[in-house]
Structure 1
Amino acid sequence: MSQLIKTVDFIFNGKLKLLSRFSATGVLNTIIDFLVFTLCQSIIGLYYTVSQVVGYSCGVANSFIFNKKWTFQYDNPDKNIVHEILQFVVVNIVSLIITVIFMKFLVDRFALNVYISKVIVTFAAQMINFLSYKIWVFN
């Protein structure tokens, strides 16, 4: 048990801190996104692109809080919070547009299952978001 605690501590507080925290936050965001997406698409019956927007938006709200406070531990008193939120929103709007277009392409053009398409576009969004947050939003 002691070794497990040391390993977890190393992963989240050692050399892999930034990547592991972003990944853990991403998993939580993805769970929220998928749950809301499924609720909207399968239970409520919304069109999958609308469900993608709603689910993604819920994941983004969670993402801002966890990435700012835990992943990047960013606290710059000189930076206006409104400016920071706007940058974060811009990154996520660009990412959302890319995911919706790519998802629609995979579903309509290749007749890929909507959930398989969702998984594929989620990975693409994570790469875009990590780089954009690190370089532009929480630098």
Structure 2
Amino acid sequence: MKTQGFRFIISGLVSAVVDWGFTALTQFLFGFSAGKARLVGFIFGTITAYAINRRWTFQADHSWKRLIYVAILYTITGWLNMTLYAWGFHLLEPSVPRLAASIGAFVFAQGIATVLNFFAQRMFIFKA
């Protein structure tokens, strides 16, 4: 589990770069709205995470069923992530600078979503 956890974190970092890269590219270069750009980034980041986690983290064969399960899982945890971010930002904003509130809320929300994603994938989607 330790190796899978480490690989999951590395996969998450790579996927976050892809996610943010597509978000920024579509928003600032192609003029998408922030919401639409975020959706594009989320989709590409999720596909990247699935591909890396399937092959490297969990070493599983391709399966359309798994892909659908991961898409459902990431949709749920994506919603949870955005909800926790908004809640955390709202909670922190009155007492700390806005940038600190944003970073704190992001780390809190992403941390919870990442832990849930790891255990759901390890226990259900990519179980041996």
> TM-score, structure 2 length as denominator?
0.75
* 1:40 Cα deviation from its structure 2 partner: 4.7
Q: 3-state DSSP class of the match of 1:73?
A: coil
Runs of 4+ residues over 6 Å off in structure 1: none
Which string of whole-angstrom CA distances, capped at 9 and with x for unpartnered residues, describes residues 12-57 of structure 1?
Answer: xxx732121111111101111222334455664623x544433222
The reply on whether 1:123 has 2:116 as its aligned counterpart is: no
Q: Please list every run of 5 or more consecutive structure 1 residues that lacks an aligned counterpart in the other structure.
A: 1-14
After the TM superposition, which residues 30-109 of structure 1 pair with which residues of structure 2 at under 5 Å, given as runs?
30-40=16-26, 44=31, 46-47=33-34, 49-75=35-61, 81-108=63-90
**How many residues in Structure 1 have an aligned counterpart in Structure 2?**
120
Match of 1:24 in 2: 10
The reply on whether 1:135 has 2:123 as its aligned counterpart is: yes
Whole-angstrom CA distance in 2 between matches of 1:32 and 1:102: 22
Q: Please list every run of 5 or more consecutive structure 2 residues that lacks an aligned counterpart in the other structure.
A: none
Whole-angstrom CA distance in 2 between matches of 1:51 and 1:100: 15
Match of 1:3 in 2: none
- Please, what is the CA RMSD of the aligned residues? 2.7
Whole-angstrom CA distance in 2 between matches of 1:106 and 1:40: 27
Identity %: 17
- Name the amino acid aligned to 1:46: S
> TM-score, structure 1 length as denominator?
0.70
Whole-angstrom CA distance in 2 between matches of 1:132 and 1:138: 9
| Structure (1 or 2) with the larger CA radius of gyration | 1
Q: CA 1:40/1:103 → structure 2, altered by over 3 Å: closer, same or farther?
A: farther
> More deviation in 85-94 or 34-43?
34-43
